[in-house]
Structure 1
């Protein structure tokens, strides 16, 4: 079980690094740089990047869910009766679900979420703030014992 515990943790953290890092790059580097392009080039670049990025987003959400469930189930015996731990994990899970919704909406094609994609930078920034909150909660939970 130890090897599976390590693999699950590495998958969870590597997925976070990939998705949060990629989203940060898009918000702070790619999007401002792409504004320098003419409109047609900008639109084409956006289509290409989102078309490729959505594969990472969807796979990452799946990996987060699978590794997160496994990690939580393995941690439960170590935190019986620890109300603060479970409250923070519950908060982290709820925030993660919001992040999954935002990430999916930003790479999706649903006309009902077009309002989000029209203000991509704003929603991406909000999503990243929530991701930082999840990382802070995770760090606290890891060191709090």
Structure 2
């Protein structure tokens, strides 16, 4: 089990780093830089980047869900009766689902969410803020330990 625990933790943290880092790159580097391009080259760049980023988003969501469920199931025995732990992990999960939804919308094609895609910078900021809250909760829970 030790090897699987390490692999799952690595997959979870590595995927989160990739997803949050990629989102920050899009928000703080690519979007501002692409504003300097004319419409046609900007549109071509956006299409190419989002076509590749979409794969990272979908695979990342899958890996985060699988490793997150596994890690939580492994942690439950050490946190029986620990309401603060379960409440904070529940909060992390809800925030993660919000991030998964926004990230999926931003790489998706549904006409219903075109307004969100047209305001990409705003929604990427929301994702970054929520991800920082999740990291802060995770850091607190890790340092707090098993019983608080």
**Aligned-pair CA distance for 1:103:** 0.3
- Cα offsets for 1:68-122 (capped at 9, x unmatched): 0000000000000000000000000000000000000000001111110000000
Q: Which residue of 1 aligns with 2:36?
A: 36
Query: C-alpha separation between the residues in 2 aligned to 1:141 and 1:54?
Result: 31
Q: Which residue of 1 aligns with 2:73?
A: 73
Task: List, as ranges, runs of 4+ consecutive aligned residues in structure 1 with deviation greater than 4 Å.
Answer: none
Q: Which residue of 2 aligns with 1:51?
A: 51
**Aligned-pair CA distance for 1:143:** 1.1
Tell me if 1:124 matches 2:124: yes
Normalization by structure 1: what TM-score? 0.99
Tell me, which stretches of 5 or more residues in structure 2 are unaligned?
none
Query: C-alpha separation between the residues in 2 aligned to 1:23 and 1:94?
Result: 19
Partner SS state of residue 36, structure 1: coil
Tell me, which stretches of 5 or more residues in structure 1 are unaligned?
none
Q: Which residue of 1 aligns with 2:26?
A: 26
Partner SS state of residue 49, structure 1: helix
Normalization by structure 2: what TM-score? 0.97
**Aligned-pair CA distance for 1:3:** 0.5
Q: Which residue of 2 aligns with 1:134?
A: 134
Q: Which residue of 1 aligns with 2:6?
A: 6
Q: Which residue of 2 aligns with 1:101?
A: 101
